[in-house]
Amino acid sequence: MADHAEAADAAVGTAPELAGTELEAATKVFGDRLPLARRYVEHLATSGLERGLIGPREVPRLWSRHVLNCAVIESEFPVGAAVADVGSGAGLPGLCLAIARPDLQLTLIEPLERRVTWLEEVIDDLGLENVSVLRARAEQAVGEVDAEFVTARAVSALSTLIPMTLPLLAGSGVLVAIKGRSASEEVEKAAKAIKKYKGHSPVVRTVGEDLLDEPTTIVRITVGQP
């Protein structure tokens, strides 16, 4: 892994600068794997942009709005947890978690071939051994993925996300969904769906308050007794 880290540090060139409070936050979240996070951001800013996974306006704020916003949710998962990332897209939050937490076992669920190809290329380049990619829609992945936790970001409203994610937990586990300021309203609108799919105890809270200028809002929904 050291060779990958050294190559990662040397390869950074076109990614947005990491400095100030963002550098402090990234250092705390990624530790000695920060070079890998830098290399990942380089991929997002180059091939990710070229292939349409990231919009050009997002490049300057890849660290604050995207990578760090996702990475801080690593505190939600216990050591060694199996986590499925639904609609992984550009690896947000799945690859951020795989870099920050090498103890986690990540499965990135993504239906589009071009995104799957990109994710596999990045995983190979970074030498990540704790993450795999499954090309499938979420409903097709039920029974194919052994997950204790499922996560998602910017996939859909919670009422639509519930039927896509809770069945992956096979009766026991936790959904950790990254949401925006309307999270509480989404929980209210999703009440029937949560009950239908045997979820309970929805909690809205923020994480990363001590690291980010804008903390990340998450919704946690439990299924069974994990």
Check residue 181 and give its pLDDT. 87
Neighbours of 225 (CB within 10 A): 7
Closest Cα partner for 87 from 177, 215, 19, 12?
A: 177
What are the Cα distances from residue 135, in Å, to 76, 141, 150, 176? Answer: 25, 9, 16, 21
Tell me: pLDDT of 6 over 90: no
Check residue 5 and give its pLDDT. 43
Neighbours of 165 (CB within 10 A): 29
Distance CA 120, CA 113 (A): 10
Give the model confidence (pLDDT) of 104-162 as tens digits: 999 999 999 999 999 999 999 999 999 999 999 999 999 999 999 999 997 789 999 99
Give the model confidence (pLDDT) of 65-110 as tens digits: 999 999 999 999 999 999 999 999 999 999 999 999 999 999 999 9
What stretches of 142-216 show up as alpha helix (H) in DSSP? 158-165, 183-189, 191-196
The pLDDT of 173-189, averaged and rounded, is: 95
Confidence of residue 2 (pLDDT cuts 50, 70, 90): very low
Confidence of residue 186 (pLDDT cuts 50, 70, 90): very high
Give the residues across from 131 on adjacent strands: 106
Check residue 27 and give its pLDDT. 97
> Could you tell me which residues are annotated as the binding site?
87, 92, 138-139, 153
Check residue 12 and give its pLDDT. 37
Helix, strand, coil abundance in the chain, percent, nearest 5: 50, 20, 30
> Could you tell me which residues are annotated as the binding site for S-adenosyl-L-methionine?
87, 92, 138-139, 153
* Tokens, residue 68: 């760090």
Confidence of residue 8 (pLDDT cuts 50, 70, 90): very low
Using an 8 Å Cβ cutoff, are 149 and 81 in contact?
Answer: yes
Give the model confidence (pLDDT) of 22-46 as tens digits: 999 999 999 999 999 999 999 999 9
CATH 3.90.1150.10 fits 2-223, yes or no: no
Tell me: pLDDT of 215 over 50: yes
